[in-house]
Structure formats: structure tokens, C-alpha cells
Amino acid sequence: MSSTPHRVAGRPAKPILTQQRIVEAAFALLDEGGAEDFSMGKLARSLGVRTPALYNHVDNRQHLVNLMRRDMIRSIDQSLIAELPWPEALLHFGQLFRDALLRVPAAVELIVATPITEESESGLIYEELGGILRRAGVAVPRILMIMIAFESLVVGAALDIVAPGAHVAVVPEGDSGARQTRHVEVLELGEKFARQARSTVSEQSFDFGLRAIIAAVEREVGQRDHVGM
């Protein structure tokens, strides 16, 4: 009589590897160790599998990062945007977009630096943004230009938050101008605001930029309407 134990039917000994589980583990690994420490090998070890097992679910690192971008985009709650007047909708959408990028701060640079592919579903961002601008009355040929400006502001704001000290470029201590920077005014402001929460400065700068874009759109649409009268 065989003494070989029979496997009891039920849940597997370890969680089944899925594309979504890999994406979530990648975010967790980045949150723990940062982008510099991120690799497919370390990701596999964090999941308790060999690296080749990952490639049954993702094609390569670029594919994985675009799946992470997709996860980020899907996390944006757009439910209220259609109900808001277009200036408020644009402001709200910009804040949601930036906050989604910052869900895992260490992932921002990796996501931004990776070429976009269809898997990222980035088109959802442009569809929503284009819809807001059409509501505002922006001429179709101008929509793409404004979308690029808007995206540059949002991505730049996210990178600003994850790059501490980016505003202050101090000369090395051995230099005769060790307490100077390329621009003295920037140093003075940097030293002042360094004592405050950096996030407050970034938030104010981002809000200013968003409102500047909204004002520019209002001005452009108003001028066009005036000419057409």
C-alpha cells in the first residue's frame, strides 16, 4: 500500500502569481527600497519566485512599468469632473492626476522615464482632459498644445515633491562662495522655506501653475469669442 500522501484539494500552497499581484509587489518594493534598488530579480524574490516566472505575466521591465502606470491612472476618481464648471474641473483633475502619480513617490521617476505603451491606458488621461478643454470652448487645433503644457506641469510638480532640495544649488564647502548659489535670491528663499514643510511650497507652486493655465485658457477663448462677434 502506497504511503505517498495525497494532496488535499483546496487553496494552493502559495498565492498564485498574477499580473496584478506583480504590479502591487513592484509598488511595494519601490516604496520600501526606492527606484535605485529596484530590479526584476529583487521583485521576483519578494514574491518568492524565480525571475523567469515573472515573464509569464509581463514581457519585460518596460511592460511592467506601463502596467504600473495603468494602475495609477485607474486609481483616479473622475466621477465629479463632469458635474463641475470647466475651470474647477481642470483644477480638480490636475490635483487628482498629481496625487495619483504620488501614490508611491519612489515610483514617479521610474514611471515618468519609461516610454508610454498602449498597456498604460494613458489615453484615458487625454480623453478626460480633452473633454474639459472642449467644454471650455478651446479650438480643436489648440487642445493638444494645452494638454502638453498641463501634463508637463503635473508631472513636474510630482517630480518636485520627490526631489528634495531641488530648488537650492549650494556650492561645495571648499569653494570661496560656499554660502552662495547660482542665484542668491533662490538661496535666500530656499533657506527660508527649507524650515517649513516642503510640501506646502510645492503645493502653492502647483496651484499657481494650474490657475495660470486656466487663466490662459479663459483669455484665449475670450479673445476668440470677441473676434468672432
pLDDT per position in the chain (229 positions), as tens? 455 555 555 555 566 899 999 999 999 999 998 888 899 999 999 999 999 999 999 999 999 999 999 999 999 998 889 999 999 999 999 999 999 999 999 999 899 889 988 888 988 999 999 999 999 999 999 999 999 999 999 999 999 888 755 444 444 445 545 445 455 666 666 656 554 556 677 889 999 999 999 999 999 998 876 555 5
3-class SS at 34? Answer: coil
Q: Assign 3-state DSSP to the chain and report helix, strand, coil percentages, each to 5.
A: 65, 0, 30
CATH class of the structural domain 59-228: mainly alpha
Give the whole-angstrom CA distance, residue 149 versus residue 90: 13
Give the whole-angstrom CA distance, residue 225 versus residue 229: 6
Give the whole-angstrom CA distance, residue 186 versus residue 149: 24
Name the β-bridge partners of 181: 170
> What are the boundaries of each domain within the chain?
59-228
Give the whole-angstrom CA distance, residue 165 versus residue 150: 24
Give the whole-angstrom CA distance, residue 98 versus residue 210: 11
pTM: 0.76
Give the whole-angstrom CA distance, residue 71 versus residue 38: 18
